[in-house]
Amino acid sequence: MKNISNQNNQTKSSFHRAHKKKAPGLVFQLWGMMMGLVALTAVFMWLVQVFLFEHTYAEAALSTSLKQMQPIMNDLTDRDLAEDDKLLPFLSRLIDGTIFLADDAGELNEIFSYGHLLFDVEQEPEYHVWEFIRDTDEFANVRNRLSYQKVLNGDHGTISIHIGVPITYAGEDAYLLIENTIRTDTVFNYNRHQLILLTILLTIAAAVLAAVCSRYFTKPIFAIKHTVDQLAANDFSTRADVKRHDELGELAESVGLLGQALARVDVLRKEVIANVSHELRSPLSVISGYAELVRDIHWKDEDARNEDLDLIIEESNRMSEMVNDILDYSQLQSGYIRLHPEFFDLAGLAESETSHCAAAAETYGIRIHFESDPESVFITADPLKLSQVLRNLLYNAINHTPEGELITVALKQTGKTVRLSVKNPGTPISKEDQEIIWERYQRSQHQSGRRMGTGIGLSIVSTILDAHGMKYGVSSDDTETVFWFDVTVSAPPEPSLQADKT
């Protein structure tokens, strides 16, 4: 007992160590997966910002500027611009850029920048722009009275639009060069700063939310695991404290039902051990007592000695039958015993088993009556196993029938289905007991303290009938209880197959 206790303690401690090791791992894994999704979202936002939004914004700004200047270009070639001295300053302010006015020789006359006329032009930064434009190939086209348009991507997030238009100024040929710079870096930097702030806030919020969600989902899992560990350590009273209405709640409820089932099986197991111990001790005591009686007293008296030896043999057979029941059930559950179906008369088998059990029933003043309609019922099944089924049903009926009453074994055919029933009077079986009566180790209260069998007879019955694929059940009311199972009538096997078996 001390070794078993030590093993249980070691088992519990190992479960607790495993629980402590795995708990943070699962939480961290869930948190990591959620943070991974957040990281993917942030990367996607940055990719959209850099490769899609900024590029689209630059194209949209350029398109807008060109649309704004297009009506101006059409108007410049249709009039003498010297007629209105406020026109060019107005145009430079309208396009939000710089206008260069050059004469027919290509010399710079005036610069208008953002609505103002520049005087000391060589000292202004716009003059460097003029020098750049003057040295381009496109400027030669303007001197040939050809218009041109050019877009330049500058440094530090700028886009420059250069437009050259031949015009008339004060009645002479002249050239108007328009330069408009679109600054995208300010907008881009502002958006990127916002995106950085949004990414930081999103990461912090996601980290907190992921930690809370991880705890929320893993807490019931650990509670259920702890409950399973306790069940494995033979603590069948423990329950998972999980009150939820989702799949985890259903899992906790299933674990609770498992604990109840294990507790019931454990109680029944202890009961059957006590019952089997008592049942085996009784014949052993009889065998030992009568063996001593033969040795010490009746060894010279042949009649008394034979009577004592017959009792010893009877008790030995009874004990052997109980042990065989236990072994057969264990082997059936393990799948070690296979069925050997044969074509035989079920009515003859039932009548034979009824006669065999009638002698045991007479000891308690109980009669067993057999009836069959029709007289012969041929089926294909394992006759030895069905004989064991019927014997256990009869033992169960004897155990629950009051003295002096009648047990009826009946065969009744309906179409190709035959129902074999064992009917006995006695205390009715409740609905709750009917649901668990086929379970292993289940034994209801017996009449008059009779204990024929080991308490697993009905479990053996259900296991054998399940192996045959037969339907079975129990019905009970205030007057009688009926155990039954259905079999299908079989046609005789073909002569060739029967000859092969022979």
Please provide the size of the chain in residues: 502
pLDDT value at position 272?
A: 67
Least confident interval from 23-37, 308-322, 469-483: 23-37
Going by the DSSP 8-state scheme, the letter that residue 80 receives in this structure is B
Question: 140 Cβ partners below 8 Å, 6+ apart?
Answer: none
* Backbone dihedral region for residue 157 (phi beyond 0: left; psi -120 to 50: alpha; all else: beta): left
Highest-confidence segment of 83-87, 407-411, 423-427, 476-480: 407-411
CATH class of 247-332: mainly alpha
Q: Which CATH number fits domain 339-493: 3.90.650.10, 3.40.718.10, 3.30.565.10, 3.20.20.80?
A: 3.30.565.10
> What is the tens place of the pLDDT at every residue in 20-38?
444 456 667 777 777 888 8
Q: How many CA atoms lie within 13 A of 229 on its CB side?
A: 18
Q: Alpha-carbon dihedral of residues 47, 50, 55, 56, nearest 10 degrees? A: 60
Residue 501 confidence (pLDDT) above 60: no
pLDDT value at position 446?
A: 42
CA-closest candidate to residue 100, choices 198, 177, 6: 177
Q: What is the mean pLDDT of residues 64-74?
A: 68
Residue 444 confidence (pLDDT) above 60: no
> What is the tens place of the pLDDT at every residue in 170-186?
888 888 888 887 776 66
Residue 481 confidence (pLDDT) above 60: yes
Residue scoring higher pLDDT (451 or 433): 433
pLDDT value at position 239?
A: 84
> What is the tens place of the pLDDT at every residue in 72-101?
666 777 778 888 888 888 888 877 788 899
pLDDT value at position 442?
A: 55
Q: How many angstroms separate the CA atoms of 392 and 456, rounded? A: 9
How many Å separate Cα 242 from the centre of its chain?
Answer: 17
96: which 2 tokens? 């939000």
Q: pLDDT band for position 1 (50/70/90)? A: very low
Percentage of the chain exceeding pLDDT 70: 81
CATH class of 77-183: alpha beta
Residue scoring higher pLDDT (422 or 395): 422
DSSP assignment of 449-461: G---S-S-HHHHH
Residue 139 confidence (pLDDT) above 70: yes
Q: pLDDT band for position 367 (50/70/90)? A: very high
Answer for the pair 481, 401: CB distance below 8 angstroms, yes or no.
no
Q: How many angstroms separate the CA atoms of 414 and 412, rounded? A: 7
Q: CA 65 → CA 129, 151, 157, 160, distances in Å? A: 19, 11, 16, 10
**Domains in the chain: boundaries:** 77-183, 247-332, 339-493
CA-closest candidate to residue 260, choices 8, 439, 430: 439
Q: What is the mean pLDDT of residues 61-78?
A: 69
For residue 325, the tally of other CB atoms under 10 A from its CB is 22
pLDDT value at position 347?
A: 94
